[in-house]
């Protein structure tokens, strides 16, 4: 097993668990039944990867070859469903951190996939962003919510930054990628804490 494959597996596992938990919690907040919990967990964990695959030319059917990650997501969702509510409420305190972890892990994973296929830097950035935010967008739409990634504190920009840095070759190798992972998580949490937002303009009459 080469270093690239180890990196992909590491960030895939981290992102899968973080986003599966996120999807399961949102489903329970919206009073979904157990099937809805599993569906939203899987969509959140794999939705961004499916969109990325369509964009950079990886067969979508490769999803069915990822039985380990599918099982990982299902186990994570099952654990969320059966743990006491008090634990989940406690987890809500750390929700932004888990979300930041999923964003960083999947953005890096998407960028690695694109660079490994020798795509131009624009495709690397798109692959990073869509892998990082795609699942969350689909989750929110299915849950009847406005996608938080497009209106909340700065979110997608950090995924773009991860893709740009990897596409430029500034972060290569396990230690560099782990450092980038920490940087993205840290910046995302700073944007939550200080409520950094991109400029916006509303047309609503006040």
Rounded Cα–Cα distance for residues 10 and 4 (Å): 10
Specify the pLDDT at position 150: 74
Question: How many CB atoms sit inside 10 A of residue 206's CB?
Answer: 3
**pLDDT tens-place string over residues 136-148:** 899 999 999 888 7
Record the tokens describing residue 169, joined without a space: 């070759």
Q: What are the start-end ranges of the H helices in the chain?
A: 3-29, 34-56, 67-82, 85-93, 95-116, 121-142, 156-167, 174-193
Average pLDDT, the chain: 87
Phi (first) and psi of residue 81, to 5 degrees: -70, -30
**pLDDT tens-place string over residues 12-67:** 888 899 899 989 999 998 999 999 999 999 999 999 999 999 988 888 888 888 89
Residue 183 has pLDDT above 80, yes or no: yes
Place 162 in a pLDDT band, splitting at 50, 70 and 90. very high
Q: Which residues have a Cβ under 8 Å from the Cβ of 126 and sit 6 or more positions away? A: 55, 56, 114, 163
Q: Which of the listed ranges 31-35, 54-58, 100-104, 173-177 does the model predict with the highest average pLDDT?
A: 31-35
User: Is the model more confident about 121 or about 154?
Assistant: 121
Secondary structure of 140-189 in HEC code, one letter for each residue = HHHCCCCCHHHCCCCCHHHHHHHHHHHHCCCCCCHHHHHHHHHHHHHHHH
Record the tokens describing residue 19, joined without a space: 């986003």
Half-sphere exposure of 13 (CA within 13 A, CB side): 6
Specify the pLDDT at position 2: 54
CA angle 176, 181, 186 (to 5 degrees): 125
């Amino acid at each position: 097993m080469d270093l690239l494959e180890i990196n992909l597996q590491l960030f895939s596992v981290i992102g899968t668990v973080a986003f599966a938990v996120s999807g399961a919690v949102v489903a329970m907040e919206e009073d979904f039944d157990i099937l809805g919990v599993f569906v939203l967990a899987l969509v959140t964990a794999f939705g961004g990867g499916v969109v990325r695959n369509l964009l950079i030319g990886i067969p979508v059917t490769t999803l069915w070859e990822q039985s380990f990650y599918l099982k990982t997501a299902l186990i994570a969702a099952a654990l969320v469903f059966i743990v006491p509510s008090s634990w989940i409420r406690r987890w809500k305190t750390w929700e932004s951190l888990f979300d930041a972890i999923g964003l960083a892990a999947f953005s890096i994973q998407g960028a690695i996939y694109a660079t490994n296929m020798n795509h131009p830097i624009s495709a690397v950035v798109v692959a990073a962003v869509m892998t990082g935010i795609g699942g969350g967008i689909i989750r929110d739409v299915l849950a009847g919510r406005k996608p938080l990634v497009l209106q909340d504190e700065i979110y997608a920009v950090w995924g773009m930054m991860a893709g740009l840095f990897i596409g430029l070759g500034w972060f290569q190798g396990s230690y560099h990628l782990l450092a980038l992972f920490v940087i993205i998580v840290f910046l995302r949490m700073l944007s939550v804490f200080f409520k950094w937002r991109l400029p916006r303009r509303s047309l609503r009459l006040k």
